[in-house]
């Protein structure tokens, strides 16, 4: 019960997600991965002390990592009440998807203009990895890699603010997929990713944007955002029982 990774002090990279940054980057990346791969369920409490013990660092580091995660929207930071894995509501999911459509359209157009040959090759490699993960049955890694594909695309668009925003949107999208996906197995279909790369390489902006928009359609057609599937938001679960008054504490009509 008291297990702990090796102190990861100067260890160049720990596991897979190791970046070449300082400790909080490592902690950040690990928690991030764990959430996106659904090893941490939405609503799970993220105790600072427990995490600190697990990673062998002090609460200071954990706190910074949680703060970054909160900025990206995958963690909810409740004052004096601790951090929990975010569980986006249906409405929040819709907002994220709306914003993503917007950003993906722009990124696609820019990528058509600016993507280099090396970047296109990297993108193809990522699609391969993604396909491997899914065929290996590693759903979590698949979701993550699919997200990283879209992030790499944003980098090819060569616009720093958009990259940063896209990182946040992709994170939240992955969380939403993990939470709301209906049983359907073909997730972020990698075929569409491949076609998209082809269109970008051919510098066909109209086609690329079209493909991307259809891709977006497919993604949220796979989600059941209409009926809430076992939400842990009590207000949402029992909303049909509540009187729809505006402010104040809502009360059940018996």
Partner DNA sequence: ACAGCGCACATTGTACACAACCCGTTGCGC
Partner DNA sequence: GCGCAACGGGTTGTGTACAATGTGCGCTGT
Residues at the site binding DNA, with contacts judged by CB under 7 A:
22-24, 45-49, 57-61, 63-64, 79-83
Q: Are 185 and 166 in contact (CB under 8 A)?
A: no
Choose between 140 and 165: whose C-beta lies nearer to its own copies. Answer: 165
Q: Are 147 and 7 in contact (CB under 8 A)?
A: no
Q: Which of 102, 121, 206, 242 binds its own copies (CB under 8 A)?
A: 102
Q: Are 171 and 70 in contact (CB under 8 A)?
A: no
Q: Which long-range contacts (CB under 8 A, 24 or more apart) does 231-238 make?
A: 231/87, 231/89, 231/90, 232/42, 232/43, 232/87, 233/87, 233/89, 236/89, 236/90
Q: Which of 33, 48, 92, 132 binds its own copies (CB under 8 A)?
A: 92
3-22 footprint of its own copies as x/- string (CB under 8 A)? -------------------x
Choose between 137 and 161: whose C-beta lies nearer to its own copies. Answer: 161
* Tokens, residue 76: 């909810």
Q: How far apart are CA 192 and CA 165, in angstroms?
A: 23
CB atoms within 10 A of CB 76: 19
Choose between 46 and 188: whose C-beta lies nearer to DNA. Answer: 46
Q: Which does 61 bind (CB under 5 to 8 A by kind): DNA, its own copies, none?
A: DNA
Burial of 146 (0-12, 13-18, 19+ CB in 10 A): buried
Choose between 127 and 176: whose C-beta lies nearer to its own copies. Answer: 176
Smallest distance from DNA to CB 59, Å = 5
Choose between 61 and 111: whose C-beta lies nearer to DNA. Answer: 61
Q: Which does 83 bind (CB under 5 to 8 A by kind): its own copies, DNA, none?
A: DNA
Q: How far apart are CA 54 and CA 43, in angstroms?
A: 19
162 binds its own copies (CB under 8 A): yes
Q: How far apart are CA 103 and CA 109, in angstroms?
A: 10
Within 8 A by CB and 6+ apart from 236, the residues are: 89, 90, 228
Q: Which does 194 bind (CB under 5 to 8 A by kind): DNA, its own copies, none?
A: none
Within 8 A by CB and 6+ apart from 137, the residues are: none
Q: Which does 49 bind (CB under 5 to 8 A by kind): DNA, its own copies, none?
A: DNA
Q: Which of 79, 183, 247, 248 binds its own copies (CB under 8 A)?
A: 79
The residue ranges that bind its own copies (CB under 8 A) are 22, 64, 67, 71, 73, 79, 92, 95-96, 98-99, 102-103, 106, 158-162, 164-165, 168-169, 172
């Amino acid at each position: 019960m008291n297990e702990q990774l090796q102190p990861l002090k100067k260890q160049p990279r720990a596991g897979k997600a190791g970046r070449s940054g300082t400790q909080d980057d490592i902690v950040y990346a690990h928690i991030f991965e764990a959430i996106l791969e659904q090893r941490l369920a939405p609503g799970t409490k993220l105790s600072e002390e427990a995490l600190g013990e697990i990673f062998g660092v002090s609460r200071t580091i954990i706190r910074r990592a949680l703060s970054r995660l909160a900025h990206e929207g995958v963690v909810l930071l409740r004052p004096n009440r601790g951090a929990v894995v975010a569980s986006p509501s249906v409405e929040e999911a819709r907002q994220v998807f709306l914003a993503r459509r917007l950003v993906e359209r722009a990124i696609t157009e820019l990528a058509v203009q600016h993507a280099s040959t090396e970047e296109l090759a990297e993108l193809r490699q990522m699609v391969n990895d993604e396909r491997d993960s899914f065929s290996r049955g590693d759903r979590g890694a698949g979701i993550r890699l699919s997200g990283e594909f879209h992030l790499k695309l944003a980098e090819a668009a060569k616009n720093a603010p958009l990259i940063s925003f896209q990182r946040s949107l992709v994170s939240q999208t992955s969380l939403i997929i993990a939470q709301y996906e209906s049983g359907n197995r073909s997730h972020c279909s990698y075929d569409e990713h491949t076609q998209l790369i082809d269109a970008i390489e051919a510098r066909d902006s109209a086609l690329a944007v079209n493909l991307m928009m259809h891709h977006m359609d497919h993604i949220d057609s796979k989600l059941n955002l209409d009926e809430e599937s076992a939400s842990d938001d009590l207000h949402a679960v029992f909303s049909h029982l509540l009187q729809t008054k505006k402010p104040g504490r809502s009360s059940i009509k018996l």
